[in-house]
Amino acid sequence: MKTYQEMNAAELAQERAEVQAHYQRLKDLNLKLDMSRGKPGKDQLDAISDILTVLTDPADCICEGMDVRNYGNMEGVPAARRLMSELLGCRPEECIMGGSSSLALMYGLVMRGYCFGMTHSPVPWSRVEGRKWICPTPGYDRHFKITEVFGFEMITVPMLPTGPDMDRVEELVKDPLVKGIWCVPKYSNPDGIVYSQETVERFAKLEPAAPDFTVIWDNAYCVHEFDGDYLPFPDIIGLCREAGHPDLVYEFCSTSKITFPGAGISAMCSSEANLNYQRKLLGVQMISYDKVNQLRQVKFLKNKENTLAVMKKHAAILKPRFDCVLHWLETEIAPRGLGHWQTPKGGYFVSLYTLPGLAKRTVALCKEAGVVLTDAGATYPLGKDPQDSNIRIAPSLPPVRELEAAMEVLCTALEMAALEQMG
């Protein structure tokens, strides 16, 4: 097959007629499909139903002498701290438990930095005129929104196949106004890139000018392989400790995509000095998080080995969905030269880079045909993709049959957008 660039006028005209007719046929199907968010599908939720019955008796609610049904113990159930630290490779005492949302924990961290300052802040971030935050792009829209509302100028840094461009990062942190960076180190959102060992080590060795520079290490997909075995990943907390920068990083994770999305448990990990500081501020915020649910998750997941077995069940459900997306891209988009993408082995997304200037129009055409995608641009700060190229595909929610239809729409929409652009 020729790429559109290689086609002559007559060939393009014929392609245009075919694509338009194809798009119209798809529109006539009145589809209503959603590939916008990394929501697990019903089969994934059903796969972990046993968690509903691990706590049924009052006696089940006592864990190592702690009655999880009562107030208290802000830092969480010790067994939960051990489980989460085992998943991440850090120490249990470097891990405190949160509620059902790791995003809320991250928001809370930035909020407290803004209102009260971090462990080593000379002043709260709210009082730093011209404060800045590094945003590797494309990235997670909800991360960017947090630093947006707290008034940070967001400096983008490109994602390389090894992670964020560390030359740029090391340069940027020389500015004391630069207060932090967003990272999704394993199966990055949306590219599915795994930071290389070298990248992780360069993070641990960062020497920022700001004493309160904060690496937010959102390890959202720490055990979330859907293709192949669990990939061991370095423990950033330990590396920072060894590098003499113990207070540089806060790591986050949750069981949202291990058990129930939005009804799991989350954790915040950092040096003990940082956690002691945060605990004091958190103590004003609340008495304790939901320890009953913490114990429920522990009783169901048990340990890392069993958690990885649970993740294999999720993988078996997710893999065919990703295969479907990639198959459509490889057979429809690659031959026409309309875009490129990474091939992820974990995480929840496929990140499609169209030829420049096509993303917004493609997403709009999909919407017209009943297929909802993440807004074009959402993977960039302020929703502004300078190339208008990146589209985040979230294939986890629809069954494969629906995905087939949705991907047919997406590919046809991209072809239409490209042909329109060629005039």
Binding site for its own copies (CB under 8 A): 37, 39-40, 42, 45-46, 49, 52-53, 55-58, 60-61, 67-72, 99-101, 103-104, 107, 111, 114-116, 126, 142, 145-146, 149-150, 256, 260-263, 281, 284-293
Alpha-carbon distance values, 99 to 105, 182, 199, 266 (Å): 8, 21, 30, 6
28 or 46: CB nearest its own copies:
46
Contacts of 263 (CB under 8 A, 6+ apart): 100, 256, 293
Name the minimum Å distance from CB 131 to its own copies: 14
| Residue 174 burial (CB count, 10 A) | 11
Q: Which is nearer to its own copies, 31 or 281 (CB)?
A: 281
Q: Identify which of residues 61 and 334 has a Cβ nearer to its own copies in the complex.
A: 61
Strands 350-354 and 339-341: antiparallel
Tell the smallest beta-carbon distance from residue 161 to its own copies (Å): 29
CA distance 165 to 250: 20
CA atoms of 341 and 343, how far apart (whole Å):
6
Q: Are strands 214-218 and 249-254 parallel, antiparallel or unpaired?
A: parallel
Minimum CB distance to its own copies, residue 101 (Å): 4
Q: Give me 318's structure tokens.
A: 């997710």
Strand partners, 246: none
CB of 44 to its own copies, least distance (A): 9
Q: Which is nearer to its own copies, 109 or 417 (CB)?
A: 109
Nearest-approach distance from CB 51 to its own copies, in angstroms: 9
Residue positions counted in the chain? 423
> How near is the Cβ of 42 to its own copies at its closest, in Å?
7
CB 76, CB 289: distance < 8 Å? yes
Q: How far is the CB of 165 from its own copies (least distance, A)?
A: 27
Closest to its own copies by CB, 131 or 291: 291
Q: Which residue lies nearer to its own copies by CB, 40 or 234? A: 40
Rounded least distance, CB 321 to its own copies, Å: 16
What is the DSSP annotation of 191-248?
T-PPPPHHHHHHHHT---SSTT-EEEEE-TTTT-BSSSS------HHHHHHHTT-TTS
Q: Shortest approach of its own copies to residue 364 CB, angstroms?
A: 23
Listed in sequence order, the residues at least 6 apart from 245 whose beta carbon sits closer than 8 Å to its beta carbon are: 204, 205, 206, 207
Helix (H, G, I), strand (E, B) or coil at 143: helix
Phi, psi dihedral angles at 309 (to 5 degrees)? -65, -40
66: number of CA atoms within 13 Å, CB side? Answer: 18
CA max distance for the chain: 79
CB of 288 or CB of 351, closer to its own copies:
288
Measured from the CB atom, the residue of 9 and 284 that comes closer to its own copies is: 284
**Smallest separation, CB 197 to its own copies (Å):** 32
Q: Which is nearer to its own copies, 9 or 287 (CB)?
A: 287
- Rounded to an integer, what distance in angstroms lies between the CA atom of residue 300 and that of residue 304? 11
Of the pair 33, 173, the CB lying nearest its own copies is at 33
